[in-house]
Structure 1
Amino acid sequence: MAEKILRSDKIVITRKDANFDRACDEAYRHAVSMLGIDEDGHATRVKGWDRSSCCIRVVFERYEHIASMVGHEYNYYFRGEAVK
């Protein structure tokens, strides 16, 4: 079983269009930024990070669709984790 070495804050993605794939991609990019992972796979904010044995996991938690006369808003809730 994977050991969590850091859990990010809650990630909330708000969109005006219903596109779950794009929300997931945006949540992943947000988690990478929050955890401080650079383009070479090194982490500045994760103690115990080894780029050859660690990974980022983004977990979808909840979805809200808010509709009114003004339009629609889609809220996707995720959490990001660094695991090894």
Structure 2
Amino acid sequence: MNTFNQILRGVLFIVLAVFGMIMALVFMASTAIAVAILYVVARIKGRPFGVRAYWEERRKQASPVRSFNKKDVVDVEMREIP
């Protein structure tokens, strides 16, 4: 009976490991497809594709820091209730 349990655990472990590897391969393939689509869209629009170009574009679009407004402040008083 002990040998049967070990064989069953081994088979279950192998099945789960193979299932996990298949899931990882699907995730990697979908990520590669998404990056390829982003690359093609960037090339069509004439923009460079890369992290540095992305951050430079975001920095240009960033809105100026808004000033402190007293209307944004809420005064709250807390008291302990016995």
Q: Note whether the superposition's TM-score is higher than 0.5.
A: no
Question: TM-score, normalised to structure 2's length?
Answer: 0.28
Q: Who wins on radius of gyration, i.e. which is larger?
A: 2
Structure (1 or 2) with the greater helix fraction: 2
Structure (1 or 2) with the greater strand fraction: 1
Question: TM-score, normalised to structure 1's length?
Answer: 0.27
